Structure 1
Amino acid sequence: MAKTDYDAVVVGSGPNGLSAAITMQRAGLSVLVLEAKETIGGGLRSAELTQPGFVHDVCSAIHPMAVGSPFFRTLPLADHGLEFINPPVLCAHPLDNGTAAVLRSSLAETADSLGIDSQTYRSVFEPLVRHWPGMAPDILGPLRFPRHPIDMASFGLDALLPATQLVKRFKSQEARSLLGGMAAHAIQPLTNLTTSAIALVLMTAGHLYGWPVPKGGSQSIANALASYFQAIGGTIETGRLVRSLKDIPSSKVVLFDVTPKQLLSIAGERFSSLYRTQLERYRYGMGVFKIDWALDGPIPFTAPECRQAGTVHIGGTFDEIVQAEQDTSTGKHPDKPFILLAQQSLFDSSRAPDGKQTAWAYCHVPNGSGLDRTEAIERQIERFAPGFRDRILARHTMNAVQMEAYNPNYIGGDINGGILDITQLYTRPVLSLSPYKTSAPGIFICSSSTPPGGGVHGMCGYHAARTALSDGFGLPVPIELATT
């Protein structure tokens, strides 16, 4: 093989791109990461979006999957400046009667708070918490025969259900609403198959690892990954926009942390007609409308649990959430959208000036929506926190179109890299036993458009790099994933 500038080039410095680069570099190869922006991170960027001294997470904010990632747990990220902070309440879901359902680190405390549904909650989550470490590498990877088939089969029976079916096991408004908010992270109608999976995974991760806030902002995760990558000999170049394969230095393999749309634009002429057709048929999901606030004080939630929570799910009852997500999926903008809200500065004083606070929130919108949802979001928050608007000093908004302009991987504002419904759960971006491998030799895809999909866990990049190591170099992968 002819001499090349690098063994591998990774295009994109999001968590999956950096994870792919680290995996290749740890195998003894020379690896270059190219990033179009001047700042690394992809969905892991933080900035002063509103006023000086207020640090906001531009995209992702709370990271249950990062702290529990089987790949990240093999890395010495704490040695590279990464520190996680766990709020006393992981997630709260306020109700109109002034109370709130809560997810706590303790499974027992969470179950006990659900009253009539306490035993049902235990029966669902105790086995998952017990078996998760052994199942995680398979759940967070491509479709294959699992290492623990009985445990995986038990998980699958519940995970494949629509959330509207799983919720029937619960009787109280608190338990049903809590489950509904978790399932809404799937960003699709809760009547869809597999929408229970995201709720089960997020809540299990909370009981095992928490729902932490990275100190200093989500950027600190990217910075730690990059610092470690460079410490073991990797190279990163920012301000390097890749429009075609000609923009990439010579290498034996290239891994793209991009979605099918960009991959087609950059390298489409190298692919077979069948592979191009499959990529062209790839489907994107709902977008998001996001707001960051600089506040004069904490959000005055009526329910005290919400004032201790890193994450607050705002959407009322389970039925309200179902209706909001269904309407959005059909192109509507509901009057009462479901909102995911984070209060990082309550637990991380580096995020705001003394006595001030930040808040972060988004709601789902039809893909590509340019509508301003500020009024609807703030009205929903005010519903459970009277006086919220009085504390707003400044706000910064991004509609779905602006989200894509900021991060080209967010097609139409879709932050998951493509809808994660039953037809694209494991067949992303195409139906293949090796979903990270394209039809062109030496070209791989390592983004959230591959299994296991969206979230800050790096597993897409890790698995893509394993495939590239095996296919492009014939090398074994010398990294054992964490199972504790």
Structure 2
Amino acid sequence: MTADAVVIGAGVNGLVAANRLADAGWDVVVCEAADEPGGACRSAEVTAPGFGTDLFSAFYPFAARSPALRALDLTDHGLTWLHAPRVLAHPTPDGRCAVLSTDLEGTAASLAAYAPADAAAWRAQVALWERVRDPLLEALLAAPFPPVRAGARLARALGAADALRFARFAMLPVRRFAAEEFAGAGAGLLVAGSALHTDLAPESAGSALIGWLLAMLGQDVGFPVPRGGAGRLTAALVDRLRSRGGVVRTRAEVDAVIVTAGRARGVRLADGTAVRARRAVLADVDAVSLYRRLVGDEHLPARLLTDLARFQWDSSTFKVNWALAGPIPWSDRRIADAGTVHLGGTMDDLTMMSAQLACGLVPADPFLVLGQMTTADPGRSPAGTQSAWAYFHLPQSPRGDAGGAGVTGRWDGDDTARLLERVERKLEAAAPGFGSLILSRDTQSPRRLEDQDSVLRGGALNGGTAALHQQLIFRPVPGLGRPETPIPGLYLASMSAHPGGGAHGGPGAMAATVALRDAGPAGPVRRRASAAAHRLIYAGPVASPAAPGPDSPGPASPGPANESLSASDTSRATRPKAAS
């Protein structure tokens, strides 16, 4: 079989890339190892009949504003967005509750309960967002790096003086940002909790921008969900692609990228079938799996392999899905109307929890992100009931359990039972009687998450840490921050590439844009320039990397892997192997 382009993986990024190429008139084949497309954008009835569960990502603020997805007009292909009455609730131990709403005055009133001045302070942040939103999102999610045109538009929107201050803000830890901008605790918690959808602690550089983006998107478009489940977003992308002649092959596990005369020429499937690519191969798989397993060391610069040994995954994840006999009986009724709930206490509590993670300890009192799915989409469960889930982060390789229950990191039945008890005890404290409503449950340990989608390495949701040392020109390794790889004709189109995790389609759209440009009239010049840049980046002596840490893939690891589970996007394009 031969096509203009082969896309490895039918996650959101892979399907966005395929649609962009099909719109340009290319023949496109998408190869997906799983039984169905979607990667981490899938839904099923796993708790009880009639209770729909989003298996991975669930809420989609980035998707609702993403230039890449909005350009595809997916409403014409069956996608309908629904919203909970309130976006987000973060209760605090003193009995107050910070509530984010698409109604600006509602959010402002909530934050004024912590400090009257914070109503105006939040309005000022929203005014800044409205000023920079379009060029900022274009620069982050739509334009291949460096985003020259979008960056120029952003600079014009800000002006020279404010551009410098915005750049400083983008580097701030969320704790410092909150201290500078707000008088009370509530507003900072909305931002800090949003940043913790990634692996960024309140003291992490850059956590203010990540949290601010998610909070401002929530203020702007809410945290919408697809009517009928996360799988409806995937279904709309697949339907659109097929309407333009694209092909999606499931149960088509890619075993290798075919490299001939130094160029990617297609892929070989696990059954030995070759799917040839006349123009490009785009990979919606994590960077480590792509380079170390699908391409192979013999085709890659030694310095790239050294850099890959330093690649850092984000935190692991433990998730519980429930079928509940009724709505969650929150002690604070303000929580009941929120689609997303943050149970994490104060800023200091978030810092302590993050410090335990940084020390390799399973948190004693985890920060829970909880989704009330029937509140957002009444069709997710029978009338009067609730389909809900919650997740929290864990170390990739725990060294101990700060909670003293002996969680080992084997992620076996005993670990699952101990973590489940920790989650439900915390929920019972916030919602007395919660336990009595449980009809059934389904648990997803880090091991099971990876088994369900091999790109979720150890339960990592974002294709690598969101920390500054692995963003922009450092993502996935020091380089150009672009989709091109050292193999001509091969493009990285997954969340391991800039701009990272989240169901926004940015990496896929950028990879498709660059592939189209490389195939155009200026293609030979562009390809020579890319080859020269890669030679420069990977030239010189190769330093021996230090022994890999628990979050690194190691020099011979095959690797497979809100926005968080409420904003994640991956694809099970390759099956997992045992970690080295």
TM-score range, shorter chain: over 0.9
Report the counterpart of residue 491 of structure 2 in structure 1: 444
Question: Contact conserved, 1:158 with 1:196, CA < 8 A, in 2?
Answer: yes
Corresponding residue SS for 1:137: helix
Contact 1:176–1:317 under 8 Å retained in 2: no
Equivalences for 1:268-347 in 2 at 5 Å? 268=296, 269-347=298-376
Match of 2:470 among 424, 437, 452: 424
Q: Does the CA contact (< 8 Å) of 1:272 and 1:440 recur in 2? A: no
What SS does the aligned partner of 1:132 have? helix
Alignment partner of 2:245 out of 209, 226, 233:
233
Tell me: CA distance 1:326–1:405, structure 2 relative to 1, closer, same or farther (3 Å): same
Aligned partner letter, 2:214: L
Match of 1:250 among 276, 297, 301: 276
Q: Report if aligned partners of 1:259, 1:448 keep a CA contact under 8 Å in 2.
A: yes
- Letter of the 2:302 counterpart: S
Matched residue type, 1:423: H
Q: CA offset at residue 134 of structure 1?
A: 2.3
Amino acid at match of 2:516: L
Establish whether residue 51 from structure 1 lines up as the match of residue 48 from structure 2.
yes
- State the distance in 2 between where 1:97 and 1:416 align: 33
The residue number in structure 2 matching 1:157 is: 168
| TM-score (ref. length: structure 2) | 0.79
Letter in 1 for 2:513: R
Distance 1:154 1:231 in 2: 46
Gaps of 5+ in 1: 477-484
C-alpha distance in 2, partners of 1:110/1:187? 26
Name the amino acid aligned to 1:157: R
Decide whether the 8 Å contact of 2:4 with 2:280 is kept in 1: yes
Moved more, 153-162 or 339-348: 153-162
Amino acid at match of 2:241: F
Which residue is 1:459 aligned to? 506
**Residue type of the partner of 1:213?**
V
Kindly provide the CA deviation profile for residues 380-423 of structure 1, in whole angstroms up to 9, marking residues without a partner as x.
22222111111111111111122112111111211000001011
Alignment partner of 1:463: what SS?
helix
1:471 alignment partner, one of 497, 515, 518? 518
Q: Which residue of 2 aligns with 1:11?
A: 8
Q: CA shift at 1:186, angstroms? A: 2.6
Whether 2:30 is the aligned partner of 1:33: answer yes
Is 1:262 the equivalent of 2:259?
Answer: no
User: How far apart are 1:211 and its partner, in Å?
Assistant: 1.0
Please state whether the residue corresponding to 2:362 is helix, strand or coil: coil
Q: Deviations over 1:342-400 (max 9, x none)?
A: 11112322211232211011000011542422111112222221111111111111111
1:146-225 superposed matches below 5 A: 146-147=151-152, 148-149=154-155, 151=158, 153-169=164-180, 170-225=182-237
Contact 1:469 1:475 in 2 (8 A): no
* Aligned partner letter, 1:176: G
1:139–1:452 CA contact under 8 A, matched in 2: yes
Deviations 1:207-265 (A, max 9, x none): 22111121111000010011111111111000111122222500021111011221121
Please give the alpha-carbon distance, in whole angstroms, between the structure 2 residues aligned to 1:386 and 1:467. Answer: 54
User: Partner of 1:481 in structure 2?
Assistant: none
Q: Which moved more, 1:111-120 or 1:78-87?
A: 111-120
Relative distance call for 1:212 and 1:475 in structure 2 (3 A) is farther
Comparing 186-195 with 287-296, greater Cα deviation is found at 186-195
Q: Distance in 1 between matches of 2:501 and 2:494?
A: 9
For the 8 Å contact 1:275–1:439, the answer to whether it is kept is no
Counterparts in 2 of 1:370-409, with a 5 A limit? 370=411, 371-372=415-416, 373-409=419-455
Query: Are 2:201 and 2:350, in contact at CA under 8 Å, matched by a contact in 1?
Result: no
Aligned twin of 2:569: none
Distance 1:471 1:408 in 2: 30
1:116-131 matched pairs, under 5 angstroms: 116=116, 117-131=118-132
Gaps of 5+ in 2: 258-267, 398-408, 524-580
CA distance in 2, matches of 1:272, 1:415: 28
Deviation (angstroms), 1:47: 0.8
8 Å CA contact 1:101–1:114 kept in 2: the answer is yes
Q: Give the corresponding residue for 2:406.
A: none
What is the deviation of 1:51?
1.3
Partners of 1:125 and 1:18 lie apart in 2 by 32
CA distance in 2, matches of 1:255, 1:358: 36
Deviation at 1:473, TM superposition (A): 4.5
Q: What is the CA–CA distance in structure 2 between the aligned matches of 1:260 and 1:457, rounded to whole Å?
A: 18
Q: Is the 8 A contact 1:271 1:438 kept in 2?
A: no
Query: Cα distance, 1:154 vs. partner?
Result: 4.3
- Whether 2:83 is the aligned partner of 1:86: answer yes
In the TM superposition, residue 280 of structure 1 has moved relative to its aligned partner by 3.0
TM-superposition CA deviations, 1:255-298 (whole Å, max 9, x none): 11011221121112332222333233211111110110010101
Q: Deviations over 1:316-345 (max 9, x none)?
A: 111111111221122111221001111111
Instruction: Give deviations 1:94-117, integer Å, cap 9, x for gaps.
Output: 123443111111233312321121
Shift of 1:42: 0.6
**What RMSD, in angstroms, separates the aligned Cα atoms of the two structures?**
1.7
Amino acid at match of 2:139: D
C-alpha separation between the residues in 2 aligned to 1:278 and 1:25?
34
C-alpha separation in 2, matches of 1:394 and 1:143: 49
In the alignment, residue 232 of structure 1 is paired with which amino acid?
R
Matches within 5 A, 1:347-358: 347-358=376-387
Aligned residue identity for 1:391: L
Q: How many residues align?
A: 473
Contact 1:96 1:384 in 2 (8 A): no
Aligned sequence identity (%): 36
Matched, 1:412 2:458: yes
SS in 1 for 2:255: coil
Residues in 1 aligned to 2:217 and 2:484: alpha-carbon distance in whole angstroms: 29
CA distance in 2, matches of 1:90, 1:449: 28
Q: Give the superposition deviation at 1:137.
A: 0.7
Q: Which piece of structure 1 moves more, 465-474 or 313-322? A: 465-474
User: Cα gap change, 1:474/1:49 in structure 2, threshold over 3 Å: closer, same or farther?
Assistant: farther
Give the Cα separation in 2 of the matches to 1:200 and 1:193.
13
Q: Please give the secondary structure, in 2, of the residue aligned with 1:181.
A: helix
What is the aligned partner in structure 2 of residue 482 from structure 1?
none
Match for residue 64 of structure 1? 61
Q: Residue 449 of structure 2: SS of its match in structure 1?
A: helix
Q: Shift in Å at residue 434 of structure 1?
A: 5.0
Partner of residue 550, structure 2: none
